[in-house]
């Protein structure tokens, strides 16, 4: 196919961790509650609330937001959804896109999330127009719309995520992970140390090496911003086009450090 199976894994992850849920679609959020077995009533309530939303109207407003502005915000919306989902832990069933916990101090201040306040602010106007949407649903849905608008395939979406208050958000930092649950681009140590760091992050989510490589393909979109990371520039010549160019460049382009 056009994008290849590895890139399709990226789509599944951006759409929310692919686990069974109470709705009819197969793509839905990972459960963010340690007591998830006792939360069926809340989940059903959230699903019913999501079904009351005019999702086509939301899509149209998102498309308008994508077209309005000097720099295409699509890659930023994909990054927001991925960083929101990337906190998931398969062992404790915590984290994930459910909760939209990046709205609160702590997670919002992780170095990996630098600059994502712009994406959150961009979506605030859409949230105000459609108040029945949870932030958690909106972040995931907006990434799917952005991918489609940038030339990618349509992604099935299941509503039903809820938002967590700041008091309900645990601290995910520790001496072993001082910057939270997301990968660090500036980890001190050897290449082997960095590889182990990346594997540790994604093993917690439940991904193997092939799936790690697939998710790296998200770098076909967007660019580095010096004020966020200290790095500058895109990874591809068309950073707002959903393609396999990132992988082609890795295989065919000689780079010097």
The pLDDT > 70 percentage for the chain reads 70
CA distance 73 to 146: 8
What is the tens place of the pLDDT at every residue in 138-154?
999 999 999 999 998 88
**CB–CB of 95/32 below 8 Å?**
yes
User: Is residue 180 scored above 70 in pLDDT?
Assistant: yes
Asked if residue 257 is part of any domain, the answer here is no
Please name every residue paired with 94 in a beta bridge, in sequence order, or none if there are none: 89
Domain count, the chain: 1
Asked if residue 27 is part of any domain, the answer here is yes
Specify the pLDDT at position 4. Answer: 46
**CB–CB of 76/147 below 8 Å?**
no
CATH number of 72's domain: 1.10.520.10
Q: Which two tokens stand for residue 220?
A: 């076909």
User: Is residue 43 scored above 90 in pLDDT?
Assistant: no
Domain extent at residue 234: 5-252
Out of 72, 82, 83, 219, the active site residue is: 83
Cα dist from 41 to 36, 84, 159, whole Å: 10, 24, 15
Specify the pLDDT at position 33. Answer: 40
**CB–CB of 221/239 below 8 Å?**
yes
- Is 117 designated active site? no
User: Is residue 40 scored above 50 in pLDDT?
Assistant: no
- pTM as predicted: 0.78
The pairing of strands 233-234 and 223-224 is antiparallel
Asked if residue 25 is part of any domain, the answer here is yes
CA distance 87 to 102: 10
Average pLDDT over residues 124-149: 95
């Amino acid at each position: 196919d056009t994008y290849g199976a590895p890139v399709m894994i990226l789509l599944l992850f951006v759409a929310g961790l692919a686990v069974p849920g109470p709705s009819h679609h197969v793509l839905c959020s990972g459960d963010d509650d340690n007591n998830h077995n006792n939360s069926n009533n809340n989940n059903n309530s959230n699903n019913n609330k999501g079904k009351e939303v005019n999702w086509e109207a939301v899509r149209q407003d998102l498309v308008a937001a994508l077209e309005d502005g000097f720099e295409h915000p699509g890659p930023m919306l994909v990054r927001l959804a991925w960083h929101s989902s990337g906190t998931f832990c398969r062992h404790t069933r915590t984290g994930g896109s459910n909760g939209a916990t990046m709205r609160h101090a702590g997670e919002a201040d992780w170095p990996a999330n630098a600059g994502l306040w712009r994406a959150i602010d961009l979506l605030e106007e859409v949230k105000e127009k459609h108040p029945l949407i949870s932030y958690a649903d909106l972040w995931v849905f907006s990434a799917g719309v952005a991918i489609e608008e940038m030339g990618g395939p349509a992604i099935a979406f299941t509503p039903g995520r809820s938002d967590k208050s700041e008091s309900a958000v645990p601290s995910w930092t520790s001496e072993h992970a001082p910057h939270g649950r997301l990968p660090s681009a500036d980890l001190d140590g050897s290449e082997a140390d960095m590889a182990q760091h990346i594997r540790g992050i994604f093993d917690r989510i439940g991904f193997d090496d092939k799936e790690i490589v697939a998710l790296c393909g998200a770098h076909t979109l967007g660019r580095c911003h010096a004020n966020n990371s200290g790095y500058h520039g895109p990874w591809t010549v068309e950073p707002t086009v959903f393609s396999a160019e990132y992988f082609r460049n890795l295989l065919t382009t000689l780079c010097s450090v």
